[in-house]
Homo-oligomer: A and B are copies of this chain.
Amino acid sequence: MVVDSLGTTFAALSDPTRRAMIERLSHGPASVHGLTEPFALSQQMISKHIAYLVRARIVIKTKRGRESVCTLRPAAIKTVSDWAISYRRFWEESFDKLDAVVNQMKKEEARDGKKHG
C-alpha cells in the first residue's frame, strides 16, 4: 500500500466515535481517560481509536506521568478542508446544471423504458 496520507485521514474520520473525539479535542487537549468517559466504550477501544487518529496525524499523544494527553493537530483538519474546497468551483457551478442533466437523463431513461415496455 502506498502511504496515501489523505486516504488515512479520511478513513480516520469515517468513524462517528473518532469524529466525536475530534469535536471534544477541538475544545482543548484531554487524557485518554477523559476521552473514555463520555463515550460508553472500553478503555482499550478508545485507545485503539486514538491510535488511528495518531496514525492519521490528526492527534498528537504526549505522556504526562501516568496519563497520555491527546492534542488535536489543526493542520490535519485543514487538509480535509483544502481537498473539499478544491472542488468548490464544481459544486458551485453545477448546482443548477445538475438538475438539467439529471432531468435529461430521466427523460431518456423513460423513453428507453417505453422502447422495451
Nearest-CB residue, chain B, relative to A101: B71
**A interface: dominant SS:** helix
Contacts of A19 in B (CB 8 A): 6-7
Contact present for B77 and A90 (CB under 8 Å): yes
Chain A window 96-108, contacts with chain B (Cβ cutoff 8 Å), 1 for yes, 0 for no: 0010011001101
Cβ-neighbour of A101 out of B29, B94, B101, B109 (below 8 A): B29
Contacts of A11 in B (CB 8 A): 10-11, 14
Q: Roughly how many angstroms separate A62 CA and B106 CA in the complex, as a whole number?
A: 8
CB distance from A39 to the nearest CB of B (A): 14
Q: Does A45 contact B (CB under 8 A)?
A: no
Q: Roughly how many angstroms separate A83 CA and B89 CA in the complex, as a whole number?
A: 18
Q: Does A48 contact B (CB under 8 A)?
A: no
